[in-house]
Amino acid sequence: MIAPSQPAQLSSPSLQERAPDLAAWLDEHAEAIDTHQDLAAQILPELGRAQLLRIGVPVSLGGCGGSTVEAIEAVASVAEHSLAAAFVFWGQRTFIEYLLHSPNEGLRSRALPALLAGELAGATGLSNAMKYLSSIEALQMNATPLNPGSQGAGQQWTLNGSLPWITNLRREGFLAAAAFDHNDGAPPSIFALPHDAPGLVRSDDLDLIALRSSNTAALRLDGTVLDASWQITDDARGFLLHVRPAFLGLQCGMSIGLARRALAAVDASSAAARAAVANEASELAHELGALSQRVFDGVQHGGFLATPAALFEVRIALAALVNAAVALEVQATGGRGYLRGQSGCARRAREAAFVPIVTPSIVQLKNQLAQHRGSKAA
């Protein structure tokens, strides 16, 4: 397991400051990325060229140092321009985080260079596992030992099952993380599934109403055989508890960026519109700042490890804030927002509709919090 880099002072540069070419490319293509699949192959290489995938990764491993909080800020800066691109970024950077915390040094050294360069996609297929961790649903994948009794590098498993929704399954090549129940009674483990493994089938892209260039599809495994060199961890539960703050924290970056952009659009509206919604905009901006700081502090200082309910609460609050910010943008933009090509208002409304259903969904998190409060009361 790799110790994280020491946190640098968070400077929060905008994407225009950090990667002006990427910012311009996203602004030019944001609508097409959201509504079509033609640019799906280009997003990840663009993120790689901008060096964003290296943020929060130790320099010794090919990264540019810094902390996970800086990676969250980078996801937010991309989400200000395109939530679909930020969704891809989240999937890639979260998979990278798994490898940083994996005891499998061989897998890390093999895969990390291409992942950091944006040449190989990393798909975080652990949404099912995160729901399993919270007792929401059972694991949907199973592993059977092919050579019972073997230990170490010689271990092999036959893998079966399916996952209905995984993002960043780039057709040009991917690794997908998935958690497996073991038929021999061993604890659940997590494997990295290579796109060209025999028996692994990627579906066509899901017919989404938005974020269509995110390479989101289903995976099915039918008798896929992998050995221990592809195992991220043999202790899925302990590993998931450790990486969940980064998983959800990076996800919160998507909401932070989208809310920032909607409020910036309100600020750029006409003087009359700004005056009409000034109080609401000010309140939302203040709340966004406070929630963002809660995310950064909880991830940076480990508070979310001890109290995951606090992370669930801030994720729920951010989703509500995004909805309110985009609704305020609709009011301030007026009829111009209903004309194609006149603003990104309609796209951001579609993007905001996606935020509550990203796994774990807001409904699932609310149920978890209700159970948690019930347990405390008991």
d(CA 274, CA 329): 10
One digit per residue, pLDDT tens: the chain, 378 residues?
Answer: 554 433 333 457 899 999 999 999 999 999 999 999 999 999 999 999 999 999 999 999 999 999 999 999 999 999 999 999 999 999 999 999 999 999 999 999 999 999 999 999 999 988 878 878 777 778 889 999 998 777 777 899 999 999 999 999 999 999 999 999 999 999 999 999 999 999 999 999 999 999 999 999 999 999 999 999 999 999 999 999 999 999 999 999 999 999 999 999 999 999 999 999 999 999 999 999 999 999 999 999 999 999 999 999 999 999 999 999 999 999 999 877 777 777 799 999 999 999 999 888 899 889 888 887 876 766
Are 45 and 118 in contact by the 8 Å Cβ rule? The answer is yes
Find all residues with CB under 8 Å of 304, minimum gap 6, and list them: 244, 245, 248, 249, 298, 310, 311
Question: Which amino acid would we find at residue 369?
Answer: L
CA distances from 220 to 27, 165, 211 (A): 35, 11, 22
Nearest to 95, CA basis, from 174, 198, 32: 174
Find all residues with CB under 8 Å of 339, minimum gap 6, and list them: none
- The phi, psi pair for 346, rounded to 5°, reads -65, -40
Cα three-residue angle 240-245-246, rounded to 5 degrees: 90
Query: Domains of the chain (ranges plus CATH)?
Result: 15-119 (1.10.540.10), 124-235 (2.40.110.10), 237-370 (1.20.140.10)
Are 182 and 188 in contact by the 8 Å Cβ rule? The answer is yes
**How far separated are the first and last CA of the chain, in Å rounded?**
38
Are 245 and 307 in contact by the 8 Å Cβ rule? The answer is no
> What global pTM score does this model have?
0.94
